[in-house]
Amino acid sequence: MSGSQGFVSLLSVCRFRLDLWLAARSLPWRVSGKPLDQILAMASPEGRSDYPGLAAEYIARRVRKSVRRPLLMRDRRCLREGLLGFEFLSRAGYAPELHFAVEPASVAKDRIAAHCWVCLDGQPVVGDRLGDQVTIFVHRSPAQGMVH
């Protein structure tokens, strides 16, 4: 496989797929009971470039496939996709943004309807905004800073 950044070895692709598979399966336990700031820190690998050369489209496709049939966190599929997409795009050297939004009408209800997705250069790559949701927070890797 060759990405936009050059040749990618078969060993690197296999390592990526294994790491993603393990991360997707362990995610429910890694995030359980943790506040959002700790979860986001976990998904923000500082100074790592484990998969240079992997195309963003390939990473996004593999992330979507890895969460297709979740055993746990079924009702939070976008969070699983978002955290994994953000982490693995970061580890490939990209500068992703993890967007969080809420549906305004749900704020007055018992349960808020929230959603998240990942963008690169302002374009959604893992998930996308749904309906008339309002963005409330954008997480960037520590090197990029955060926008509220």
Q: How confident is the model at residue 83 (pLDDT cuts 50, 70, 90)?
A: very high
> What ranges do the domains of the chain cover?
2-140
- Report the predicted TM-score, pTM, of the whole model to 2 decimal places: 0.84
The residue whose two tokens read 């484990």 is 50
* Position 147 pLDDT exceeds 50: no
Q: Quick check: 3 pLDDT over 60?
A: no
Q: Is 99's pLDDT higher than 90? A: yes
B/e letters for 13-47, b = 16+ CB within 10 Å, e = fewer, are beebeeebeebbeebeeebeeeeeeebbeebbbee
pLDDT over threshold 80, residue 67: yes
